[in-house]
Structure 1
Amino acid sequence: MVGLDTPTNTRSAYPPSVADLLPRVREFAADLGECPSRNRIMTEFKVGAPKARAVLAALNEDAETKPARKLHAVTGPAEAEEAAPASEVPDGPTADESEPQVSAAADPGPRPKKARRIKLWPVLLLALPAFVAVWSGWVGLGRLTGFGPIQLLPGIWDHLTINSAITLPIGVETYAAFALRVWLSPATRTHRVRSFAKWSALGSLVLGMVGQVAYHLMSAADVERAPWPVTTLVSCLPAVVLGCGAALAHLVRDTTDQEVND
């Protein structure tokens, strides 16, 4: 006597059709989280290889029409495929032909070591005595060439005075440092800017050395008033420094020239 309740995994005298089997395989795939292979369908639902292939083909058609619900078939390495006649193989791709997807994390490799910055405090020790010598030389040369105390705001603040000789070291040496920075900086974008900064920086340094030599020679000779050629040259320095500084500032902002070719 046959019982009324029959397990779902037992073979029935009337095997279900593909249309009846397809909803059950869909539910099984949803619970499994992936598309079962042909052998898995044959084992779970007790059907033959042709009907399992037909169900897989229907699932693939559903996956093509609904990409969001597409499931990837996972084929076990130990599963053996039985040869089937060409007439029983349905058209279209099957789940057995798909390859398992393997994802591998790229090896980032060793991290590059962070470059250590060069300490700049020794430059301060070098610059301090040079600043004192250059400052005293320019101020002394300015005194010999007619630079001296002036009223900065005459008629407004008569007691506010300043020694105009300090304009020489501030103007010449500051511009030399600025031009050197532009010349040697990797951020300088054009060849014209780099060339102008280079030659003007070298010219400022040479001019500063000439001024120091002239002052010390006149100071050693107890000269109280510089000769007129020296006075003429020194009096033009503030205007020359202003023109070079303004020109270099405009060139630094210029982006129309060709890029620097290293």
Structure 2
Amino acid sequence: MTAPTINGTRYPQPLEDLLPAARGLDLPEGQRFPSRNRLMREFRIGAPKAGELLALLKAEPTAPLVDSTAPDATDPADAPTVPEPAPPVEPDPTPAPEITPSEPDTEATPVGRPDTPTPPAPVRSAVVWPVVLLALPAFVAIWSGWVGLGGLTGFGVVHPLPGIWDSFSINSAITLPIGVETYGAYALYVWLSGRVPDRARRFAKWSAIASLLVGALGQVAYHLLEAAGVTSAPWWITTAVACLPVAVLGMGAALAHLVRTHD
């Protein structure tokens, strides 16, 4: 059996139409207002609308009890006057001006919160291919200088595999440019990368500077000896040049160890 409806329809009714029907509900003795659940059940309305209807019922002033036998003492002048309804507003016959849509912006400006930091614009890294052009002539000059100085200090052709590969030979002077200059470039990279511990960065800094200075002094020594027509370098130059492979090995091992430690 369906609950009673207002005006014989099941469609939702406005609160103004439901309010008189809500006043006329039979309530138990001692209860002044119906519950929200009963309003929902009686009028088939939702909880929000039932809450609004109950609030309207509670907001109405409660009429005092009047003796039915006493004469009506209500003064007609004191009766509330019902305001006259406002006249309907007629629509303006003048047509509204046509609004032409503006052209959309080609570039939309993102709108963010005031406290949100604006991300920095991506920075394009510089090209490095010109270094190849710089390195080619430097490589030729450095290689020939070190090999020539190695020949003046006792470095020369050796057979590293006697009895195994007798015909295989190598000029030991090439160990000077490979060791000294390669370590200098690697230490310079570690120093400027900023991605290593502080101890490794300091060691890379000073060893790179020392390696580049030794390389420059080696080039100066070779060209001075070659210009003077010297066929054999002095003993102190020979001693220093002979210690370079060992020094490069020690510095390279130390730098590799410091790069991997975080103590």
Tell me the residue number matched to 2:239: 232
Tell me the residue number matched to 1:220: 227
Which amino acid is the alignment partner of residue 251 of structure 2? Answer: C
CA shift in 2, pair 1:111/1:248, >3 Å: closer
Tell me the residue number matched to 1:21: 39
Tell me the residue number matched to 1:136: 144
Does the residue aligned with 2:160 lie in a helix, a strand or coil?
strand
CA shift in 2, pair 1:204/1:50, >3 Å: same
Deviations 1:89-142 (A, max 9, x none): xxxxxxxxxxxxxxxx84578664221111112222211111111110000000
Distance in 1 (CA, whole Å) between partners of 2:139 and 2:182 is 11
Does residue 244 in structure 1 map to residue 262 in structure 2? Answer: no
CA shift in 2, pair 1:25/1:210, >3 Å: farther
Does the residue aligned with 2:169 lie in a helix, a strand or coil?
strand
Distance in 2 (CA, whole Å) between partners of 1:114 and 1:4 is 68
Does residue 188 in structure 1 map to residue 208 in structure 2? Answer: no
Tell me the residue number matched to 1:74: none
Which amino acid is the alignment partner of residue 181 of structure 1? Answer: Y
Larger mean Cα displacement after TM superposition, 121-130 or 10-19: 10-19
**Matched positions, count:** 193
Bigger-Rg structure (1/2): 2
- Percent sequence identity is 52
Distance in 1 (CA, whole Å) between partners of 2:60 and 2:248 is 94
Tell me the residue number matched to 1:255: 262
Which amino acid is the alignment partner of residue 46 of structure 2? Answer: F
Tell me the residue number matched to 1:116: 124
Does the residue aligned with 1:158 lie in a helix, a strand or coil?
coil
Structure 2: gaps (5+ residues): 28-33, 63-110
Q: 2:145·2:223 contact (CA, 8 Å) conserved in 1?
A: yes
Give the TM-score of the pair, scaled to structure 2.
0.64
Distance in 2 (CA, whole Å) between partners of 1:184 and 1:231 is 33
Deviations 1:58-87 (A, max 9, x none): xxxxxxxxxxxxxxxxxxxxxxxx6989xx
Distance in 2 (CA, whole Å) between partners of 1:155 and 1:169 is 28
Return the structure number with greater helix share.
1
Tell me the residue number matched to 1:73: none
Q: How does 1:147-158 map to 2 (within 5 A)?
A: 147-158=155-166
